[in-house]
Amino acid sequence: KAKPGVKVLADGILMTELTPGTGPKPDANGRVEVRYVGRLPDGTIFDQSTQPQWFRLDSVISGWTSALQTMPTGAKWRLVIPSDQAYGAEGAGDLIDPFTPLVFEIELIAVSQ
């Protein structure tokens, strides 16, 4: 059961809204401009953007693709993404072990279709 303030999104992704947004939501083939911090479950930062970055939603981990389609522009969310929606059994190099859930704080700045 999710803690108060935590919503369960599709595919078991846990979302906590840090800042509400009111702008448009991206579609599955859209591009997003985001600021983000990615952490391992122990809090270790494995990736972060110091400047806003553009990504195509069809070229990121599936947890981002599904969660960001429900996120309005201007919002900042904390997402806990199960390993099967991230890097799964493969992991990612020396940074992310296999079957590791990931925690992201993502701010959606802009969308482009």
Percent of the chain with pLDDT strictly greater than 90:
90
- pLDDT for position 23: 97
> What are the two backbone dihedrals, phi and then psi, of residue 109, each rounded to the nearest 5 degrees?
-90, -45
Q: Assign 10 a pLDDT band (cuts: 50, 70, 90).
A: confident
Q: Is 42 exposed, middle or buried (0-12, 13-18, 19+ CB in 10 A)?
A: exposed
Higher pLDDT, 14 or 11: 14
Q: Assign 3 a pLDDT band (cuts: 50, 70, 90).
A: confident
Helix ranges, the chain (H): 62-68
What are the structure tokens assigned to 48, written together?
A: 């972060």
| Arithmetic mean of pLDDT, 61-66 | 96
Helices vs strands, H then E, count in the chain: 1, 7
What residue type is 96 in one-letter code? I
Model confidence, pTM: 0.93
Q: Using CA atoms, how far apart are residues 81 and 87, in angstroms rounded to an integer?
A: 10
- pLDDT for position 50: 86
